[in-house]
Each structure stands twice: as structure tokens, then as C-alpha cells.
Structure 1
Amino acid sequence: MNLFSGTIQTLEGSLDFASAKNRVISNNIANVDTPGYKTKDVTFKRVFDEELNVSFQAKQTQPCHIPFSQENPQQPFQIVTKQNTTYNHNGNNVDIDKEMTELAKNQIYYQSLVDRLNGKFNNLQTVIKGGR
């Protein structure tokens, strides 16, 4: 039985993404003074790949070609390290202002998801109680 036509499952996946993003941002902030530390980010890889594969089909004609397969089909996002920049003289590329902004945006996003999920459960509770 699929209540709310998959909305709860979508919200659950979105909460997983927001939680992973929060962990990564917190880790970046914690390593702001660590020499050589490179920032990490969470990308929504699987959804992007699925959209890409809908309009673009690639054929691997030789074994040395890069496959268009997914490494982890259960997790729609992946954590990537940004290697191409240096923000501090010690090789660290954590911009604390950017990370704090991303953390605030992610917290607002997470709270909106929780509010929406609570609304779905409140609707279900109202139906179970017979509209009271």
C-alpha cells in the first residue's frame, strides 16, 4: 500500500540527503584550520544520472571507455572532495563564511522537510480519527 503516492518515501530520501549534507558541512567547519584539508560536498548523483540517461544513452564499445553505471544504486547522493582550490596558505580550502551559509540553508531545508512530513502524518491522523 502506497500512502500519499510515494510522498513520504520522497521526503524520507530528502531528509537522508539533508542529514548527509549537514554531516559534511559540520565536518568541513570542524576542519577549518586543518592543514591540507579539502572541503567535501554532497551531490545528488543518482537523480542526475537518471535524468542524463533518459535523454542521453551512451554505448561502451571498448573496455577502456568509462561506463555510465552507478556505483551505489541505493544511495542517490555521494560525497565528493573539492581538490581544485586552495583558500588558506596551508593548503586548506575551507571558506568558513560559505560553509556557515550552506549550513543555515541546509537547516532551513531540513526543517521545511520535517514540517511537510509532519503535515502528512497529521492528515493521516485526522483520517484515522474520522475527521476529528
Structure 2
Amino acid sequence: MSFNLDNYFGVHQDALTLRSQRNTVIANNLANADTPGFKSRDMDFREALANAGTQVGSGTRLRVTDGQHLGAGPADQVTLKYRIPLQPSQDGNTVEADREQAAFAENSVRYQASLQFLTGRITSIISALKGGNN
């Protein structure tokens, strides 16, 4: 019987990577909230996750062993898009701290949900390897 971890973990494996990258982007926006001319950016998570599922068709993941290697993970194909502010500022900065904080909080909750799902799956594998009732 064949056991494929990519199928067992589902989209949550790629979702963790993408949510982590999105938190970094949002944190960067918040850090530059007072920088004149800074343009707020974000990623379309659904689009990025859909693209991550079609990157490596065989389910084989490429491994990066050197920082100069080209990326092969789901986060390497993400296109960041500029946000259009609801209330443009005079200095050209498009960061809206309240929107960014809300997006960061929502993304963090979803990251935790995927992490808990994967933790449960890994616990199940460990239990099966130990013989079930150990």
C-alpha cells in the first residue's frame, strides 16, 4: 500500500508557507505606515494557493540547498499586488493601519488553524507507527 504525505496533508502544507509569507508582507506594510510614498502590498491568497497546487505536477518537491538556488516552493511564485486605499494620504502612503491589522489578525488565525490540522495529522501518523494505543 502506498502512502503519499502530500495527499495526506492536503493543501495545509502549502497554506502554511503562503500564510507565513503573507504575514511578512502585512508586517512590512505596518512597519512602513509612516514612510512617505510607501505603497501597501498584499497577495491574493486563493490565487497563490491554487498556483501552488499546480507547480510541481508529480507531487515531488524540489529542495533548495543553497541560497542562490532558484526557488521551487509555493511562495516563490506569488505575485504581490498593490492595495488601493479607501482614504489616500497626502504624502502618497497607501498603508491603512486598521485594515492591515485586521488582515494580519485574520491571516494569523487561519495560519494557526492549518498548523493545528497538520499537528493532528502528524500525531495520527506517530500513533499509527507506534502501534495505535501507546
TM-score, length-normalised on structure 2?
A: 0.70
Instruction: Measure how far apart 1:43 and its partner are.
Output: 1.7
Match of 1:106 in 2: 107
Q: Bigger radius of gyration, 1 or 2? A: 1
Q: Deviations over 1:67-120 (max 9, x none)?
A: xxxxx98535321223x5462110011110000000100110000011000000
Structure 2: which amino acid aligns with 1:107? S
Instruction: Measure how far apart 1:11 and its partner are.
Output: 1.4
- What is the correspondence of 1:53-132 to structure 2 with a 5 Å cutoff? 75=74, 77-82=78-83, 84-85=84-85, 87-132=88-133
Instruction: Measure how far apart 1:123 and its partner are.
Output: 0.5
Match of 1:10 in 2: 11
In structure 1, stretches of 5+ residues that fail to align are: 51-71
Match of 1:66 in 2: none
Task: Report the number of matched residues.
Answer: 110
In structure 2, stretches of 5+ residues that fail to align are: 54-70
- What is the correspondence of 1:16-31 to structure 2 with a 5 Å cutoff? 16-31=17-32
Partners of 1:88 and 1:5 in 2: CA distance: 45
| Aligned partner of residue 35 in structure 1, secondary structure | coil
Partners of 1:5 and 1:94 in 2: CA distance: 37
Instruction: Measure how far apart 1:5 and its partner are.
Output: 6.2
Match of 1:65 in 2: none
1:127–1:73 CA distance, 2 compared to 1 (3 A): closer
| Aligned partner of residue 11 in structure 2, secondary structure | helix
TM-score, length-normalised on structure 1?
A: 0.71
